Amino acid sequence: MTITRADRARDAGRWTTAARLYRKALNRSPDNPPIWVQYGHALKEAGRCSEAEATYRTAISYDPDSADAHLQLGHVLKIQGKRSEAEVSYLIAAVLDHSSPEPIRELGGFGWSAAVLSELKQLAGVNPAGSCTPGEPSRASSATEGEIDRLCEVLSEAERKSRRLATAAAGMQSEIAALRGALSRTLHDDSALSAGTQE
């Protein structure tokens, strides 16, 4: 009953009410990963992203193989600017559910190359069209050592990109600070010159 009311509140966009009702349902029955995910959605939509992150992590603790929980965690991490962590979550989601194009699309949005994404699809048992390869079993849960190594390489590429971006951002911040200093000095000099002229 409580979950039904929570779902109705969610569908109506009443996120705070939905969050309260999902939390109430979880207090009664905490071992319910899909409801933890729904609770996370409600918190995220209500603007409570750090709480939503913790909630999605709880869902994953109950069901580590939930591709949706990893995907949603990726979304809330991305909103919070936690790029590297978001990439890891999207990567896990892509491997766990190779029928979903969303994690691959999100990784592409982070600048992952088409070649790497194509390789990731193949490792997850997905053909370029995005559907499971006919007659081929899922390899997400039985990856070979070589496939695991390749996934590690893919993840390393993400980490290298993140480091390069962080370095570039730090350089830009230094340049901005220098420009601010120069502007401040110029304004100070102009003020002093203007005051001297008035005398």
User: What pLDDT, on the 0 to 100 scale, is given for residue 74?
Assistant: 95
Q: Is 2 exposed, middle or buried (0-12, 13-18, 19+ CB in 10 A)?
A: middle
Using pLDDT thresholds of 50, 70 and 90, give the confidence band for residue 192.
Answer: low
Most confident by average pLDDT, 20-24, 121-125, 165-169: 20-24
- Which element (helix H / strand E) includes 162? helix 145-198
Res. 47: pLDDT tops 50:
yes
Paired residues of 132 in beta bridges = 126
- Residue 132: predicted pLDDT: 38
- Mean local confidence (pLDDT), 49-78: 94
pLDDT above 70 (res 139):
no
pLDDT greater than 80 at residue 2: yes
Better pLDDT: 180 or 42: 42
What three-state secondary structure class fits 98?
coil
Check pLDDT > 60 for residue 55: yes
Q: Is the pLDDT of residue 30 over 70?
A: yes
Provide the pLDDT for residue 180.
Answer: 75
Contacts of 117 (CB under 8 A, 6+ apart): 104, 107, 108
Q: Counting Cβ atoms within 10 Å, is residue 97 exposed (0-12), middle (13-18) or buried (19+)?
A: buried
Confidence bin at 152 (pLDDT 50/70/90): low
The domain locations on the chain are 94-199
pLDDT digits (tens, 9 = 90+) for 78-120: 999 998 889 888 888 888 887 888 988 998 888 877 777 777 7
pTM of the model: 0.63
